[in-house]
Amino acid sequence: MAVDYLVIVVYLAGMLAMGWWGMRRARSKSEFLVAGRRLGPAMYSGTMAAIVLGGASTIGGVGLGYQYGLSGAWMVFTIGLGLLALSVFFSARIARLKVYTVSEMLDLRYGGRAGVISGLVMWAYTLMLAVTSTIAYATIFDVLFDMNRTLAIVLGGSIVVAYSTLGGMWSITLTDMVQFVVKTIGVLLLLLPIAVVKAGGFSEMKAQLPTEYFDPLGIGGETIFTYVLIYTFGMLIGQDIWQRVFTARGDRTARWGGTVAGTYCLAYAVAGAVIGTAAKVLYPKLASPDDAFATVVKDELPIGVRGLVLAAALAAVMSTSSGALIACATVANNDIWSRLRGVVRPDGDRQYDEVKGNRVFILLMGLAVIGTAIALNDVVQALTVAYNLLVGGLLVPILGGLLWKRGTAQGALASVAVGGLAVIGLMAAYGILANEPVYYGLLASLAAYVAVSLATRPTDAAVLAAWRERLAGRAPAHDNASETVSEQVPAAQ
């Protein structure tokens, strides 16, 4: 195991080094939060794929394959579908807005009255998303070092907090690119073929397992529909995803780079399910499906390769964790705290150091995430709460704002409040893992949005005109100037 340990230590040290290097580039708010809005296609595709494919997609995706066979790919597959839909239909418009948060978009669309409550909902979502990723460190470090759960969470979480605090989105982008390469090599090029070969090939897998393991719909139609509702639509509106869209240097990068990343997710989904199916042949009686990934890695891979694949698992967790963390801190600082302290974001208190302020919030949110992760045990429940709140509370007003000009600020506020409260109440009544909360919560949100919007005065024509100008990419001069990106620095590829 000494070689495996060395691989992991070098990998973790590299993450910290990139955080330090990224600190030198993060000299303005734009550079710190959205990498100066100048990522080219290669870096944009890699970082987008890294943020959406986390521990749940890797360890959880293999676990679903162990439990259901090839149809276990559907959870990650719907994530890929959501990223494709976002990239093809919405990403260009989102990138042209030149904002930092989803709530800022809602303020622009509805006239500055919808951002506070939406910011609170988005903050809760990003916090829980970061917590679920941080909990996953315990599983990986237990396999690596037989480490205490709390210590594992503190160690893994501290590394992510450190490089995210130092360099912001530049550090996260650089580490994401390394993590993307490590995941591709470790999971797709090494673990997938080795697991299939160890299981005797596809013919032996079919002979050993029930036929439903090879039924593409074996997981059940209702489950697939729920995955689409939660993950596909969740990809369209999450702050962690939008913040990556904001990093694109142009419409074409956002559209085509995201399409490449979404297609990669589809392949990753199938790979995870196949690995899980092979693990079922090799270890038919595991105590938990989520143990499948670690068991195959620990028992079937040669020394050195094992370390690289475990580094791939760490990469998956860290990419999602860091993306959720900076999203959480951005929302907390820009959508909640700035309103409380009276800072007008573009031109307000010029003595306020935006980069330093965002660094402080990443550190504070990181400590909150680590503490919450130590207190919680169930990753699935935490992730379900996050996505139920996101989809039930924010899907309708966000997509409504992009697609329906008759939607009003009052309708948006009613939609967020009714949908969010309905989801919380229904989770209490039916249970956190039930499907009903997101179904009925989303319907309640839609009904409130349409009814209240039609019952109130249309959005002011001047607000809609300014909104259309932003959607067309004609941001006000002070917004463009505030980006403070040096023209001498070439766009990152």
Domain presence at residue 493: no
pLDDT in tens, 338-378: 877 664 444 545 566 778 888 899 999 999 999 988 887 76
Q: Would you list the DSSP string of 266-328?
A: HHHHHHHHHHHHHHHHH-TT-S-GGGHHHHHHHHHSPTTHHHHHHHHHHHHHHHHHHHHHHHH
CB–CB of 314/187 below 8 Å?
no
Residues 388 and 325 in one domain: no
**Residue 9: predicted pLDDT:** 82
Residues 373 and 384 in one domain: no
The confidence band for 215, taking pLDDT boundaries of 50, 70 and 90, is very high
Residues 181 and 281 in one domain: yes
User: SS3 of 39, please?
Assistant: strand
354-358, 407-411, 456-460, 481-485: which has the minimum mean pLDDT? Answer: 481-485
- Looking up tokens 């990003």 gives 126
The confidence band for 484, taking pLDDT boundaries of 50, 70 and 90, is very low
User: SS3 of 219, please?
Assistant: coil
CA distance 161 to 427: 31
**Residue 490: predicted pLDDT:** 43
What's the whole-number average pLDDT of the chain?
Answer: 85
Residues 66 and 142 in one domain: yes
CA distance 133 to 361: 19
CA distance 384 to 51: 18
Residues 313 and 386 in one domain: no
Domain presence at residue 450: yes
**Residue 290: predicted pLDDT:** 81
Domain presence at residue 50: yes
**Residue 200: predicted pLDDT:** 93
Number of neighbouring beta carbons within 10 Å of residue 221: 8
pLDDT in tens, 15-65: 888 777 777 777 788 888 888 888 999 999 999 998 888 877 888 899 999
- Looking up tokens 């860091």 gives 322
Query: How many domains would you assign to the chain?
Result: 2
Residues 221 and 260 in one domain: yes
pLDDT reading at 328 higher than 50: yes
Residues 290 and 371 in one domain: yes
The domain of 461 spans 379-474
CB–CB of 195/275 below 8 Å?
yes
Whole-number percent of the chain with pLDDT over 70: 91
Domain presence at residue 492: no
The size of the chain, in residues, is: 493
Residues 312 and 433 in one domain: no
pLDDT reading at 464 higher than 80: yes
CA distance 66 to 75: 13
- Looking up tokens 């090599």 gives 185
The confidence band for 475, taking pLDDT boundaries of 50, 70 and 90, is low
Residues 323 and 383 in one domain: no
Residues 303 and 430 in one domain: no
pLDDT reading at 120 higher than 70: yes
pLDDT reading at 319 higher than 90: no
Q: What angle is formed at CA 341 by the lines to CA 25 and CA 126, rounded to 5 degrees?
A: 60
Residues 338 and 417 in one domain: no
Domain presence at residue 101: yes
Query: Hey, what amino acid is at 94?
Result: I
Residues 147 and 34 in one domain: yes
pLDDT reading at 274 higher than 60: yes
CB–CB of 253/410 below 8 Å?
no
Query: Hey, what amino acid is at 392?
Result: G
**Residue 113: predicted pLDDT:** 66
Domain presence at residue 485: no
CA distance 250 to 298: 43
Q: What is the mean pLDDT of residues 122-145?
A: 81
Domain presence at residue 458: yes
Domain presence at residue 114: yes
pLDDT reading at 314 higher than 90: no
Pair of tokens at residue 183: 């995941």
Q: What is the CATH number of the domain that holds 304?
A: 1.20.1730.10
Q: Radius of gyration of the chain from Cα atoms?
A: 22
